[in-house]
């Protein structure tokens, strides 16, 4: 029996924040073309003027896309910044295979005035439906009760028996917490951290302070930490899932940083 494979990526692509956001689109596309992931979870995705950043990337890369909002942070509404007016901010999933179904789930957020969502997407992998839970968790350290509740919520969503089957189940996103944080305790208990399982460096960083627009105000729980994650679980009891390689992506393209975050990429292989 042949093995099944998938290359997965998660990336916070920085909405329209920072300088030269239009120029950054070329770097985002070039990075996706270089690594050619099969499925991608995106955070801080813009939407407006009858389109979304995810749909534009999907069209350029011959992929399928689904977008959902609201997410973190709230979309700025500065009348003085024309490129921000009426532009939403959310999360998205891109897939090289058709999207079978998708649904949103409202995450717990007692301290916020909006209802942030996680996105649950099933795609038509050749081995069977492949489930992706995509999310961006709260970044507010003073609201760590919400952060912990959200971490448990998305981990429980990824372990829902509805998604048992021929393919692993993926939880991907900007989870705004280092892997040893209490925010990810539930995920560590019931899922596998692809970066660690694939032999990734223990000191890897996805929100580096060396970035020229690094959000240093986020503090040491976020900055110079690996806060973007790919977790997974087998789809059934007898399924063995191997992580054959992990990478960071998102270096400058033409001298322009595509995002203030680096992306995480993982290659998964399984049998059956």
Cβ(144)–Cβ(150) under 8 Å? no
Tell me what pLDDT residue 2 has: 78
Average pLDDT, the chain: 96
pLDDT digits (tens, 9 = 90+) for 14-53: 999 999 999 999 999 999 999 999 999 999 999 998 999 9
Dihedral angle sign, alpha carbons of residues 134, 119, 37, 189 = positive
Task: Quote the pLDDT of residue 77.
Answer: 81
Domain architecture of the chain: domains with CATH: 3-271 (3.60.10.10)
State the CB neighbour count (10 A cutoff) for residue 225.
22
Q: What is the mean pLDDT of residues 129-153?
A: 98
pLDDT tens track for 134-144: 999 999 999 99
CA dist 233 and 192 (Å) reads 6
* 15 CA to centre of own chain: 13
Residue 81, pLDDT score: 82
């Amino acid at each position: 029996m042949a093995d099944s494979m998938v290359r997965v990526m998660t990336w916070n692509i920085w909405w329209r924040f920072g300088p030269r956001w239009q120029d950054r689109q070329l770097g985002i596309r070039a990075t996706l073309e270089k690594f050619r992931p099969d499925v991608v979870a995106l955070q801080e995705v813009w939407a407006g003027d009858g389109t979304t950043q995810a749909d534009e990337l999907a069209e350029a890369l011959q992929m399928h896309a689904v977008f959902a909002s609201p997410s973190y942070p709230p979309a700025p509404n500065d009348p003085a910044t024309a490129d921000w007016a009426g532009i939403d901010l959310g999360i998205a999933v891109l897939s090289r295979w058709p999207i079978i179904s998708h649904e949103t789930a409202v995450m717990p957020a007692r301290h916020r005035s909006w209802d942030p969502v996680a996105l649950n997407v099933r795609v038509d992998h050749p081995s069977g439906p492949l489930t992706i839970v995509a999310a961006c968790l709260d970044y507010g350290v003073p609201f760590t009760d919400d952060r912990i509740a959200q971490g448990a919520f998305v981990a429980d969503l990824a372990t829902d028996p509805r998604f048992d089957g021929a393919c692993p189940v993926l939880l991907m996103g900007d989870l705004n917490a280092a892997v040893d944080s209490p925010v990810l305790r539930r995920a560590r208990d019931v899922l596998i951290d692809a970066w660690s399982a694939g032999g990734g460096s223990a000191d890897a960083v996805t929100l580096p302070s060396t970035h020229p627009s690094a959000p240093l105000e986020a503090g040491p729980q976020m900055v110079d930490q690996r806060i973007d994650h790919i977790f997974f679980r087998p789809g059934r009891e007898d399924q063995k899932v191997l992580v054959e390689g992990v990478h960071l992506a998102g270096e400058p393209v033409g001298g322009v940083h595509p995002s203030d975050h680096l992306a995480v990429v993982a290659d998964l292989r399984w049998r059956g």
